[in-house]
C-alpha cells in the first residue's frame, strides 16, 4: 500500500513540477530561517530529503558538501538546473526517502522541508534520516503539523483525504513521528500561518 501511495506521489509531483516554485514562494523566508538553524560549517555533509526543485540550495553556505534526493525525476531535473545556475556541485539522486541507500553515520546534517507531510510513511523516513546521520548530527524540519496536544480540527479531518491524495497531508502530528526515531528535539518554533508551520531542529542522540 505504501508502495502504491509512493508511486502516486511521483505522479502528482510530476504534474505540479512546472508551477511548484510559484506555489511555495511565500515560504521563502521560513526556508531560509530553517536552514540557518542548522548552523552549517564548511566541509559538512548535508542531505536534503525530498529536495524538490532545489529551492533550499539558495540558502546553503558555500563549501558544504550537498546530496539531494527526491522521488520525482521532473522535480530533480529542476534542482539540477538550479544547482548549475548557482554554480553548486550537488550529488542529486532519484531515491525514495523511505529507504535511503547511504551507509550509517554518513551525514553531518539533514534538511527535511515539506517532506514529512507528504511522504506516505514519515516514521520510516525519520528513522532512515537518523540512521544516516552521525551521532550528534542535526536535522531540521520545516513543515505543517497539528500541535501534538490539540485535536485535529474538523475541517482538516474533512479535507485531509483529498489534500493527501493531491499532494500533502494536513493532519499530521510531529511528536508521534519522531518518537523512538533517535532524533531529539533541540528547538521547536512557530514559523507562520498561526503556528501551523513549524521549524524544528533535532539532533541525533549520541550513543
Ligand X SMILES: C[S@@+](CC[C@H](N)C(=O)[O-])C[C@H]1O[C@@H](n2cnc3c(N)ncnc32)[C@H](O)[C@@H]1O
Number of residues engaging ligand X in binding (CB under 6 A):
20
Interacting positions 42-71 with ligand X (CB under 6 A): 50-52, 55, 70-71
Closest-CB residue for ligand X?
52
Report the largest interatomic distance among the alpha carbons of the chain, rounded to a whole angstrom.
Answer: 46
Unique residue bearing C-alpha cell 503556528: 195
Burial grade of 79 (CB within 10 A; 0-12, 13-18, 19 or more):
buried
Q: Which is nearer to ligand X, 95 or 178 (CB)?
A: 95
DSSP element (H, E) containing 136: strand 133-144
Residue 53 beta carbon to ligand X: minimum distance, rounded to whole angstroms:
6
DSSP element (H, E) containing 191: strand 183-192
Q: Which is nearer to ligand X, 94 or 205 (CB)?
A: 94
Interacting positions 100-119 with ligand X (CB under 6 A): 113-115, 118-119
Q: Which is nearer to ligand X, 42 or 69 (CB)?
A: 69
Residue 50 beta carbon to ligand X: minimum distance, rounded to whole angstroms:
3
For residue 206, give the nearest of 174, 176, 183 by alpha carbon. 183
Residue 5 beta carbon to ligand X: minimum distance, rounded to whole angstroms:
9
CA atoms within 13 A on the CB side of 71: 21
Site for ligand X, rule CB under 6 A:
6, 9, 13, 24, 50-52, 55, 70-72, 75, 96-98, 113-115, 118-119
Amino acid at each position: 500500500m505504501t508502495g502504491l501511495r509512493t508511486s502516486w506521489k511521483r505522479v502528482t509531483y510530476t504534474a505540479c513540477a512546472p508551477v511548484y516554485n510559484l506555489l511555495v514562494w511565500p515560504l521563502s523566508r521560513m526556508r531560509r530561517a530553517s536552514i540557518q538553524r542548522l548552523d552549517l560549517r564548511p566541509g559538512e555533509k548535508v542531505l536534503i530529503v525530498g529536495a524538490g526543485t532545489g529551492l533550499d540550495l539558495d540558502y546553503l553556505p558555500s563549501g558544504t558538501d550537498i546530496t539531494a534526493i527526491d522521488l520525482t525525476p521532473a522535480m530533480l531535473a529542476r534542482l539540477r538546473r538550479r544547482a548549475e545556475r548557482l554554480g553548486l556541485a550537488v550529488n542529486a539522486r532519484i531515491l525514495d526517502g523511505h529507504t535511503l541507500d547511504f551507509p550509517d553515520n554518513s551525514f553531518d546534517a539533514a534538511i527535511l522541508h515539506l517532506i514529512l507531510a507528504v511522504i506516505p510513511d514519515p516514521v520510516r523516513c525519520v528513522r532512515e534520516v537518523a540512521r544516516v546521520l552521525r551521532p550528534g548530527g542535526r536535522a531540521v524540519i520545516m513543515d505543517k503539523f497539528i500541535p501534538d496536544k490539540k485535536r485535529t480540527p474538523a475541517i482538516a479531518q474533512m479535507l485531509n483525504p483529498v489534500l493527501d491524495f493531491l499532494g500533502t497531508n494536513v493532519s499530521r502530528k510531529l511528536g508521534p513521528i519522531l518518537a523512538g526515531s533517535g532524533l531529539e528535539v533541540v528547538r521547536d518554533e512557530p514559523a507562520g500561518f498561526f503556528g501551523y508551520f513549524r521549524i524544528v531542529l533535532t539532533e541525533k542522540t549520541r550513543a
